[in-house]
Structure 1
């Protein structure tokens, strides 16, 4: 790596990403609650800010030389059975997808949701469980790495209150995001790759936004999401146990 990982670098990237995403969304004039209700609102209120965030993360990760540690584990988790939690999350997302009446979406709306899924999975995973995780592993034990990256991922969602989301809703979303982040952390540790977490994250968000247009399917996420979160917290210890990622990477000239 060109630059040795440091905790402050991860925090700086985190802050820059949040500022860019929230700033671009605020400039778009689209309220958070309108995202996913139409193609225009989704493009302007979500896709554009995530695209700006993606550019930032690609440039920063390249300059730091952190692509390898950000995208892959040095050693996978010794325990693979906790992957049942991400599989359950995948199952709920698929149920949401199949219970959505896609005929009601026009081509532009479908493309906006696809772009949203690709970008949110890439950006939020690369930022939280990629760059920030790599930075934290320079000094912290794996237990703290899991907890703090998941906590920062959850805290990021409180910022939605600044772009039109109700504060209480944003706070509850932050708590759920902490648990969801734990599920995605488990997926990274078990598979050894961040790519699978990116794909699952993107699919989950698309299913959530799509199902919001289908009242009959809407209860699946709110009901099963917290259950998945509780399960992830119950088993995350087993993917942390025996992790040997701290100070695994050093800078090279």
Structure 2
């Protein structure tokens, strides 16, 4: 089978479709969170707050994204690249992020957990599916229909970061929110690298979900003396990612929406 296997779409990828999906997802999550009446800063106070404030919006978003992806016929290009990056060393950045994740879990005050909070925390794993499918999935497919890969990386990472501005509208101070936006841009670059090196969005979904689980868990209860270490290692991972991303972009040929035919080699 040729490298250029047929991509079949119900709807041909367009930049505007990817952007509509992105803004619709942000609007749905924001609306559901607003209807809960729970400020962002109070999500971690109890299991019910975490579920109603964050988990419920993720469940609704996941269902709507699954339906949308099916109607568009974009599952394959959203989840898989046609070719992996020729340069694999930038996967060091996701590996360092895994180290930061493990540190977060190691410094978590697990005694502060109850069954309800743990159950709500498990629902948070859905964030890996919803936010990755939105940004480095459907938005990426739309952008690849017209833009060079460098812009695909930059815009998916930037819009992923800007997605977190909504937290300032749900109770978080603007200073921490802007810091969160910047860190999310870096994390988005790490997830993009993981997609390019492995050829699949699934690993980025898993890492993203576990990362958010770890950041909520480490903030629960009494912080340990080395709690900040995970954040320091995360910044190191971002620095490595910003250096390595140029290498995984180089030579990328992932345009979508181009008429292709299946050939037998």
TM-score class normalised by the smaller sequence: over 0.9
Question: 2:252 matched to 1:243?
Answer: yes
Partner of 1:218: 227
Mapped to 1, the partners of 2:196 and 2:258 lie a distance apart of 17
CA deviation string 1:88-112 (max 9, x = no partner): 1011101211221323211111111
Relative to structure 2, which stretch is displaced further, 209-218 or 136-145?
Answer: 209-218
Partner of 1:172: 179
CA deviation string 1:18-41 (max 9, x = no partner): 000000000101111111221011
Q: How does 1:72-151 map to 2 (within 5 A)?
A: 72-117=80-125, 119-151=126-158
Residues 34 and 41, structure 1, Cα contact 8 Å, conserved in 2: yes
Partner of 2:11: 3
State the Cα RMSD in Å: 1.5
Partner of 1:190: 197
Mapped to 1, the partners of 2:61 and 2:260 lie a distance apart of 25
Residues 141 and 256, structure 2, Cα contact 8 Å, conserved in 1: no
Q: Between Structure 1 and Structure 2, how many residues are aligned?
A: 251
**Unmatched 5+ stretches in structure 1:** none
Question: 2:212 matched to 1:205?
Answer: yes
How far the C-alpha of 1:218 sits from its partner, in A, is 2.8
Partner of 2:241: 232
How far the C-alpha of 1:222 sits from its partner, in A, is 3.0
Which of the residues 32, 41, 44 maps onto 2:40?
A: 32
How far the C-alpha of 1:233 sits from its partner, in A, is 0.6
Q: Looking at CA atoms only, which structure, 1 or 2, has the larger radius of gyration? A: 2
Mapped to 1, the partners of 2:117 and 2:179 lie a distance apart of 27
How far the C-alpha of 1:249 sits from its partner, in A, is 5.2
Distance 1:74 1:62, change over 3 A: same
Partner of 2:5: none
Mapped to 2, the partners of 1:250 and 1:25 lie a distance apart of 41
- TM-score normalised by length of structure 1: 0.95
Which of the residues 156, 163, 166 maps onto 2:163?
A: 156
**Unmatched 5+ stretches in structure 2:** 1-8
Partner of 1:18: 26
Mapped to 2, the partners of 1:63 and 1:131 lie a distance apart of 12
CA deviation string 1:160-193 (max 9, x = no partner): 1111111121111111100100000000000011
- TM-score normalised by length of structure 2: 0.91
Mapped to 1, the partners of 2:160 and 2:117 lie a distance apart of 27
CA deviation string 1:114-150 (max 9, x = no partner): 1112x10000000000000000000001000000000
Q: Report the secondary structure of 2:254's partner residue.
A: coil
How far the C-alpha of 1:215 sits from its partner, in A, is 1.2
Mapped to 1, the partners of 2:117 and 2:258 lie a distance apart of 42
